[in-house]
Structures are given as structure tokens and as C-alpha cells.
Amino acid sequence: MGASFNKSEDYTKDNITKPIKNAPILNKNKIDIYDISKVLWNIDSKNPPDKILHPFISLLNNYTANRKYNEESYTDNEKLEITSFILSCNDFLRIIYEKVNYDKSYDEFLKNVENKWFELKKYNCLFEHIFVGEIDNRKVQGYHNWIKLKIDIESGIVRKVQKLPSKNKYLECFSFDFMDKHKKISSVLTSISPQYEFSVMTLVLLFGDKKNNIYTDDGDIILNNFKVTLYYTDPE
């Protein structure tokens, strides 16, 4: 599909800023989101083999981007693709499970993860909203994954791309047209595996606050957590 994890390509910044020394944010359950995100970051392979891409990319065509069309549903094969992708995240999800002292079995934890991300709400699910993007009320909603963005740029689905400023070499912000609808800004965490991104978002989705410090080796990034979406911003 043309997606690459080489950090030297144009999807990273040349101007590297000094790490931003933000204090870790502890949520009401006293789970150190920052510390766990650092562990996840450090185990993420910086140049994973192509086979790691396949479980993620296979999910991207399972959804109808425009909400005005039919209700979403999964085929049996698409359900298997979801299972395959979650299993590919096992190294990361196992760490989260152990670090947060989850009070049920690991299988039950994985089922909770699957339900949170992939349970269909008539026209969409959280995975579609964040990683795939969708058109709702003639606007581009969600769409915060760099691999999906790169694939859509190469295929011509995304046009008029303009890069916007960011302090961190891993955080890229863009405006673009998707399916002829304009998105003013989409923040994407670049040059990391989809397994890492899915897992750190799962950490924040299940156990985080509205604003969560996430570690990168170029300084912290804020992962914002709201009921219907998650997205990245630079620390203030």
C-alpha cells in the first residue's frame, strides 16, 4: 500500500524541539497514563515488517464513509479481520492490562476493547470515526491516522493537503479535502505502528482523563479524550 515507517521520510519534521517537561497527569483512578504510554512507546518497533501493516489496512475498507448511505454492518470475514488486528496488538494490550490491574480476565479485557472500538452505532463505530474518517452533515469527522492519510493521498481520495505547524516531530497537523469535503485540521501521530496508536488510544479511552500527557522521545503530546473522539494536540 506504500505506507512506510521510515522516520527519515517527509512525514517527520526537521526541526526537533527540546522535550517538554510536563508533569504526568494522574486520573481519578491514580493510573499513570504518562508512565504506561512511555512503556508502550519504548516497545514499539520503529521499523516493523510489512506484516504488521496488513491487519490494520484490512480494516480500512470495512466502512461506508458517508453517513447518508445504508447502516453499517460486518460480514463474517470483517469480524475475523477485527479479531486479527486486536491480536496483533497483544504485546501492547497485555502491558496495559497488567499495569492498570484490570479486575477481570485478559480475555474479558480484550472483549471490552473490541466493544469500545468496533461496536456499530447504526452508521459508524469509534474505530471508523478516528482511524478511517467519515462524512457527517457535509463535514469530515474524525480521521486522525497517518497511514490512512498517506494511502488516501497516494490514491487521490485526499487532495489539497496543507501542512500546519506543530512543536513535535511526531505530531503532524494537516488541512485537506476528503471526498470533496474540507477538513480544517486533522492531527496525526506519524511514524508509529497502528498497533501502538490503537493501544495508547485504548489506554486513554478506558482509563484516561479529558487531557492526557503521552510520551514521545521528542517531548510530550496531549491526547485529548472526549466521548465521541480522541485527537492529539501540542502541550500549551
Domain boundaries, the chain: 33-233
Q: pLDDT digit string (tens) for 69-109?
A: 556 778 899 999 999 999 999 999 999 999 999 999 999 99
Q: pLDDT digit string (tens) for 109-162?
A: 999 999 999 998 767 789 988 998 877 777 778 888 999 989 989 999 889 989
User: Length of the chain in residues, anyone?
Assistant: 236
Please list the residues that pair with 124 across neighbouring strands.
121
Whole-angstrom Cα distance, residue 11 to residue 6?
9
pLDDT computed for residue 19 by the predictor: 33
Please list the residues that pair with 205 across neighbouring strands.
none
With both helix axes pointing from N to C terminus, report the angle between 76-88 and 50-57 in degrees, rounded to the nearest 10.
140
Whole-angstrom Cα distance, residue 228 to residue 20?
28
Question: Is the distance from CB of 199 to CB of 116 less than 8 angstroms?
Answer: no
Whole-angstrom Cα distance, residue 39 to residue 54?
24
119-123, 196-200, 203-207: lowest mean pLDDT where?
119-123
Model-level pTM?
0.82
